[in-house]
Structure 1
Amino acid sequence: MRFLPLFSLLLMSQLLVGCESLFSRAPAAAPEPVNVFEDTPSAADAAALPGQCPPVQAVVCAEPEVKVVERVIERKFETIVEVPVAKDKLVLGSQEYAMVEPGDLRLKAQIDTGVATSSLHVEQLTRFERDGSDWVRFNVSNGDDTEAVKIELPIERHVRVARPGFDRQRRPIVNMSLTIGDVTHMVEVNLVQRGDFDFPLQVGRNFLKDSAVVDVSRRFVQGNGQLPIVSK
């Protein structure tokens, strides 16, 4: 029983020490409130948090500058200009009548600047020899009901002609006189036997060279064709 007062004193001293430490301790800082309605953290918070993506920021581009260009369309109209032709040149259309000698033939001719040598459509072409020279005999028709004219001429040379879709031909060439308008030329003419000719005579560059110009928009400029008048 004598220890009871001593025990009470010790208990009272421990209680006094506990209260003094309790009141002397500094109060703990209150936690920072968290905004539960904010989904996107600030830039500082995002940088502080590892593994977090930076916030998406909307980029507004400046509107491009629009330049208005005024385009002026200038329309030009073609003008037909009459080009004078030299007085010594014969003007021919795409088709003309030609006089052919020998034979005194008046034939409808096609004027073709794309061929070098004139051509004549003939029938019953036969080669033969006369006085050691090669000659040719053929018939030429005017295209009407008159009888075909038989002509015999020496062969000057031969030419080989190749056309797509046709066999290669070896044609004889003879000298003949062609007259269109007031112009007469002795030219080489190659003789051809073929039934698909629209014109019995095709006038090439060997007649047109240095003597005539061609206006393809016209036909029969030189009339119906006649032999030139020879003054005596």
Structure 2
Amino acid sequence: MKQEKLVIGRVDCIDLPEMNVENVLAKVDTGAYTSSIHCSEIHLSERDGRPLLCFHILDERHTDLETREFQTEKFEQKVIKNSFGQSEERYIITTVVRIFDREFETAFSLSNRADMRYPILLGRKFLNKQFVVDTARKNVSYKRKLKAAERSRAKANR
């Protein structure tokens, strides 16, 4: 059975449950193939002789959380064209995105987006076959999430 595509606006708040991050702004970017997430202090280390990727995600500017360090042995490197059309080598990780009360596993390139308005870009690879983009709308999933929480609180107060 074919599932109907969800309508997503040009911006929405998403959760990254594996990183314990909620309600972080993400820009929907149909011009980008790969999704990307703001990271800093990206470096390789070693654990038991195996490569270990270490990085800090987000920062106080983008969330009410403090910057946190993450480590993973599950990563790859790819050459990706940045927004200026220049090729650069980036690390790619895979994690879960929660949006519209559903979870999607997707790949993110790690990039320093400190000077950008949105710490996360959701690219075509994530959007493909799951979403239709309505550029006139914003925070469609987040508004649904707030309404559901409001209904839940009202129900609990009865």
Distance 1:221 1:138, change over 3 A: same
Question: SS at the partner of 1:102?
Answer: helix
CA contact (8 A) 1:161 1:168 kept: yes
Q: Which of the residues 14, 25, 28 maps onto 1:111?
A: 28
Q: Which amino acid aligns with 1:161?
A: I
Cα drift, residue 148 of structure 1:
1.2
CA drift at 1:208: 1.2
1:101 Cα deviation (Å)? 3.3
Question: 2:19 aligned with 1:100, yes or no?
Answer: no
Please, which of 147, 155, 163 is the counterpart of residue 66 of structure 2?
147
State TM-score, norm by structure 2: 0.76
| 2:135 aligned partner | 216
Partner Cα separation in structure 2 for residue 139 and residue 90 of structure 1: 31
**Structure-2 residue corresponding to 1:120:** 37
* Runs of 5+ unmatched residues, structure 2: 146-158
Structure 2 counterparts to residues 1-232 of structure 1, below 5 A: 88-106=4-22, 107-140=24-57, 141=59, 143-163=62-82, 168-223=87-142
- Show CA shifts across 1:108-166 (max 9, x none): 00011121111001111121223443321111225245311221122432112344769
Aligned length: 141
Instruction: Summarize the Cα distance change of 1:180–1:149 in structure 2 as closer, same or farther, 3 Å threshold.
Output: same
Deviations 1:81-117 (A, max 9, x none): xxxxx96221110000010132211210001112111
CA distance, structure 2, for counterparts of residue 119 and residue 164 of structure 1: 11
Q: 1:30 maps to which residue?
A: none
The percentage of aligned residue pairs carrying the same residue is 26
Q: Is the 8 A contact 2:37 2:111 kept in 1?
A: yes
User: TM-score scaled to structure 1, two decimals?
Assistant: 0.54
Cα RMSD after superposing both structures: 2.5
1:122 alignment partner, SS class: strand
Specify the structure having the higher radius of gyration (Cα): 1
Structure number with greater CO (CA < 8 Å, separation at least 6) is 2
CA distance in 1, matches of 2:52, 2:144: 29
Amino acid at match of 2:91: P
**Contact preservation (8 Å) 1:97, 1:225:** no
SS at match of 2:98: strand
Structure with bigger strand share is: 2
* Counterpart residue identity of residue 201, structure 1: I
Task: Judge conservation of contact 1:102–1:151 (CA < 8 Å) in 2.
Answer: no
